[in-house]
Structure 1
């Protein structure tokens, strides 16, 4: 953060930060999926990408590089569902909002006041959705992005 209070915006964020963020959030998921393609096809596997609420709206804490990398991953998820589907591989994404973890940003309590369910999500709630997407109960679900944010996206 340039002044300690503002987000990393599209004007001031150094390009090396953009590259680092996209490497982790965008390129790593497709590299892993491609690298494990044969195993995934053999197992009729399921891929769950992790996007973010920041990928669909300007977020007070998430920087521009992070937000756009997560938006790009949402689009990549749909493209992967199209390409991997004929091989029996389902590809979906989850888009968490504010989840109660050790890395909460200062000021999160102000955001909680605007969330329709008026609370943070739990890691167990996120894990339950991932488990569902990988299960046979979701055998006809692919190309979807599920919001896990207590209605924060509405």
Structure 2
């Protein structure tokens, strides 16, 4: 645990989708490592969240609303001013995957166009708008961006819909492009692609998929958080433009 620096010299993380699952575990990991975490989600801060500086470092934002997202970027920049306007890491974790009326997977044939737009706004456009909006702060800290993609971006998934899958594939390509564009400014950009992770939002039938995973188990949220932390730490100082698969070998 890094406890060498006083609180006002702590590294700072901005994380979207902090309210549950991978995001929740990531906040806990970085907080335990003495990072300041500015969390962003559609929900207001919950007192059930077990980390310090919650309400003071939480921003309620609807990533599906470009105007609201713009306001959030300005609020984040304002909160960073007191600490030298430096941002050490941005983790684009928020993502949506709409289902049909009965919870069924939405295919390319039946996904409403407004759902396509919403999914791409949250899963694809929000990450680049956040990274561009916070570019100067990331540059000042030689920071790191981590985009959370998905195994659904590289293979047809039985539960993840087409809009979600294609948005994650696009985000993986964006990660490569961002790495090339941001790299000369000292900012690293990578992605992680989780597979079947044990969270509260697992789809019925996921247990059948475990039989096809070489490690024969679901992943844990803390395992994903540990990989995110690695990509934001000095241990990965020469890693950029990479997409790390966290799926127990499912992608093979």
So what's the TM-score if we normalise by structure 2? 0.60
Q: How many residues align?
A: 154
- For residues 139 and 117 of structure 1, the distance between their equivalents in structure 2, rounded to whole angstroms, comes to 29
Match of 1:117 among 191, 215, 222: 215
Aligned counterpart, 2:248 = 150
Offset from partner CA, 1:62-94 (integer Å, 9 cap, x none): 000000000000000000000000000000000
So what's the TM-score if we normalise by structure 1? 0.97
4+ residue runs over 2 A deviation: 1-6
Structure 2 vs 1, CA of residues 7 and 139 (structure 1 numbering), >3 Å: closer, same or farther? same
Structure 2 residue 168 is matched with structure 1 residue 63? no
Structure 2 residue 128 is matched with structure 1 residue 128? no
Offset from partner CA, 1:89-132 (integer Å, 9 cap, x none): 00000000000001000000000111000000000000000000
Larger RCO (alpha carbons 8 Å, 6+ apart): 1
- For residues 6 and 43 of structure 1, the distance between their equivalents in structure 2, rounded to whole angstroms, comes to 44
Secondary structure of the equivalent of 1:85?
helix
Structure 2 residue 131 is matched with structure 1 residue 33? yes
Secondary structure of the equivalent of 2:173?
helix
State the superposition RMSD in angstroms.
Answer: 1.1
Match of 1:102 among 200, 218, 232: 200
Aligned counterpart, 2:188 = 90
Unaligned runs of 5+ in 2: 1-98
Offset from partner CA, 1:37-56 (integer Å, 9 cap, x none): 00000000000000000000
